[in-house]
Amino acid sequence: MNLLEISHLHKQFATQKAVNDMNFSIEKGSIFGLLGPNGAGKTTLLRMITGIFYPDSGEIMFEGRHFDALKDTANIGYMPEERGLYKKMKIGEQAVYLCRLKGMKKEEATRRVKEWFVKLEMQSWWDKKVEDLSKGMSQKLQFVTTVAHGPSLIILDEPFSGLDPVNANLIKDEIFNLAKNGSTIIFSTHRMEQVEEICDHIVLMNKGEKILDGTVGEIKNNFKENLFRLGASVLPEQLTTYIFEVIQHSPDELILKINEDSTPNEVLQYFINKNVRINSFQEIMPSLNEIFIKLVHGTSAARQFLNK
């Protein structure tokens, strides 16, 4: 079942289209990656999903019903990119306050916050003030305030910025745990490498429009260029064939592009026949970053061309 379905969503600001005809759906319990460069319209899209902005047109379905900002915010936890806390307020009090704003009873909110504090080893912080915390610590607190009220949809905008690797891993593990327990997570970032290991499904945005939609595997498959890395010492005169082209040749490594009609097996067969000792043979998959740069450059180049 899809937790969230977005169809034909539009949002326009005075001069520019921030989000243009956005469509996608997110399966319950999955980790969804929303990618795009700065200014792609990710934050605007997320603000519509959290009810901060109203879309100009289009529809948001949440848990199979029309999204109702007032009622549904209780089921959404949002950690914006521009985030912060009341500096002078005590940490425990603050977390409980933010939970209660989501509609929780005081006792229940206190219990939940305490549970999370134990889980992330921050019990001793309860009476401290935010201004006494380091950036990493307040980042952890921010995460707790986002998830403590038990939302079914958790939206994290650049959750790892400012976190050291240890704390980033701690949060990453908690994100996996939350997904395992049935929460759905939207993870928005412009750092592609973070997405590859976490997300099941991604959507890539640029200039307000969706330019990619699919699982990480699918997308990589679609964009692969039949490049392979062969670990072997090969002599140049051994490389005259119609099966592949050589892209790069170094003493103990060869990067080659297999021609369309050929298969990796034929490549291996070829080298075996030549009596070459093969140490490794591996397909080179494009990274999301490369795909992203390729696509984004493509569109802006195309636009520039059209504008002329």
Q: Which of 20, 30, 73, 183 binds other proteins (CB under 8 A)?
A: 73
- The structure tokens 């939350």 sit at 178
Say whether residue 15 binds other proteins (CB under 8 A). no
Residue number with CB closer to other proteins (130 or 204): 130
78 binds other proteins (CB under 8 A): yes
Residue window 265-304: x/- pattern of binding to other proteins, with contact defined by CB under 8 A? ----------------------------------------
Q: Which one of 2, 17, 56, 89 is in contact with other proteins (CB under 8 A)? A: 89
Query: Does 68 sit near other proteins (CB under 8 A)?
Result: no
Tokens coding 96: 């409980």
SS3 68: coil
Residue at 29: amino acid letter? G
Among 9, 48, 60, 98, binds other proteins (CB under 8 A): 98
Nearer to other proteins, 27 or 93 (CB): 93
CA distances from 291 to 133, 142, 192, 210, 275 (A): 39, 32, 10, 14, 36
When binding is defined by CB under 8 A, the residue of 1, 15, 66, 84 that contacts other proteins is: 84
CB of 190 to other proteins, least distance (A): 17
Region of 95-103, 110-118, 242-250, 270-278 interacting with other proteins (CB under 8 A): 95-103
Pick the closest to residue 214 from 59, 77, 30 (CA basis): 30
Measured CA to CA, the distance from residue 268 to residue 227 in angstroms comes to 14
The DSSP string of 171-230 is: HHHHHHHHHHTT-EEEEEES-HHHHHHH-SEEEEEETTEEEEEEEHHHHHHHH---EEEE
Whole-angstrom distance, CA of residue 62 vs CA of residue 45: 14
Residue (of 296, 49, 12, 281) closest to 154 by Cα position: 49
CB of 80 to other proteins, least distance (A): 4
Q: Does 85 bind other proteins (CB under 8 A)?
A: yes
- Which one of residues 65, 66, 82, 265 is an interface residue with other proteins (CB under 8 A)? 82
Q: Which stretch binds other proteins (CB under 8 A): 32-40, 97-105, 254-262, 284-292?
A: 97-105
Q: Which residues pair with 255 in a beta bridge?
A: 229, 248
Exposure of 126 by Cβ count < 10 A (0-12 exposed, 13-18 middle, 19+ buried)?
middle
For 76-89, b where at least 16 C-beta lie within 10 A, e where not — what string?
bbbbbbebebeeee
Q: In the range 20-59, which residues lie near other proteins by CB under 8 A?
A: 47, 50-52, 54
Find the binder of other proteins among 16, 59, 103, 132 (CB under 8 A). 103
Residues that bind other proteins in the complex, under the rule CB under 8 A: 14, 47, 50-52, 54, 70, 73, 76, 78-80, 82-89, 97-98, 100-103, 142, 145
